[in-house]
Structure 1
């Protein structure tokens, strides 16, 4: 019994002193922004954000038509993150962390984003890229927007419903990496 307590105590000390591996509700794009590589098929950066082009898109469990369909997406303009490439197939992740494979013909390079699903309240859309600027609209979490430009801290966006343009803090969007700029 003394040995098991000693082993348990040693294991506990090892866990406390080991480097911490953080598993949290962080936005999926946070980790991806720290590394990029070239996709083996396209030569484009992986990970990267794209949007859903098709009115109906099937997410499969593997990179071929023979694999089972896991989800059916019916949201053109939905931002998705490509995390892997295999032939004509792209492994994608949505804002909820769901991953699967979609044929590249279903995806578009048009940049869209979603007001952060992690937010608890509406996010202001401003007339200028600064905190004190006038508010032109308030956007609910999960509202999709088209990304026009992004600087270090702000993105100029266009709402797909309502047709309002303005600036929103980049940290409030899923679909743009923290260090990314878009012209």
Structure 2
């Protein structure tokens, strides 16, 4: 019935509505179309899974891979965009600032939707070795996602995993489980 894409539409509307209330008077038709293309790029850059079962392959498979039939080749626009750009005459700076605002707000909401937290009435699954996780990182550029594979876990005295060591494309990191989102569980 289209529930998956309807949820994506709802998440986009939930972020765009307050943005347009705040900045709608500064956007004309052409700028809005450009902003929607940037929003489309952001939404379709989200990682779905890994393309292979090779433990060393940590490149994410995204909807853009399927739509464009090539790997993600998104290049971030040059420069730093700030709130003052909304009042400049250069429309592209305005749109890039709005795209960055959308990215920040949507990423938080999307990651929260992947990581549901409920009351501790029922036991939840701990992270395990070979789980694929998304790393919550506020310093990443727009449409960039940090994905890693859990290589070791550290449990507390009660047996709950509190932090893990992960292998990303470029490095090994130690992160608390609150900064990670389980994307693909291991097959154990």
Shorter-chain TM band: under 0.3
Between Structure 1 and Structure 2, which shows a larger proportion of strand residues? Answer: 1
Structure with greater Cα Rg: 1
Between Structure 1 and Structure 2, which shows a larger proportion of helix residues? Answer: 2
TM-score, normalised to structure 2, is: 0.26
